[in-house]
Amino acid sequence: MRTIRLISFGYLHLPTGPDGSPVPPAADRIEDVRDRLRDPAAARDILNLDGLDPRGQDVVLATPGARELLANLADYATLPVGPRRIAIGCAGRRHRASGLIELLAREVRARGRQVDVEHLHVHFPRVLKPADTGANA
């Protein structure tokens, strides 16, 4: 069975296309969780953490809708002729996207798939004033 690549990214850090919209990484499935899951950065106890930290992952997992999304993505990732790449993006990339990718990688590995994880922007500085998207970092 081939390896699946799981990618986290932040929409506020992406290059823009000719029409001015962000260009996400190439993937078979891209999940934009900016409007789907509330931003856990509001939880002051994880503000300076990221989704690579187990405490940050716990907060992301406790976000309403996160468990259902992870279950759906894990089912998709482990289809017999499954995807080669899944990408998850949030506004700034610090909590939701990176935490979800780490949690998804753990679940997909537990189901017997080989996984490579790539965090495109997790180490970028925190976005304090987001662009005109209305999204939070």
> Given this model, what pLDDT does residue 45 score?
65
Distance (Å, whole) CA 114 – CA 108:
8
Q: Is 76 helix (H, G, I), strand (E, B) or coil?
A: helix
For CA atoms 107, 111, 116, 120, the dihedral sign is negative
The pLDDT, as a whole number, for residue 125 is: 63
pTM: 0.82
Q: Which amino acid is at 135?
A: A
Domain ranges of the chain: 4-119
pLDDT in tens, the chain (137 residues): 689 999 999 888 788 899 989 899 999 999 999 888 777 666 656 666 666 788 888 888 888 999 999 999 999 999 988 899 999 998 866 778 889 999 999 999 999 999 999 998 677 666 655 444 444 44
Q: φ, ψ for residue 97 (rounded to 5)? A: -60, -50
Identify the pLDDT of residue 54: 83
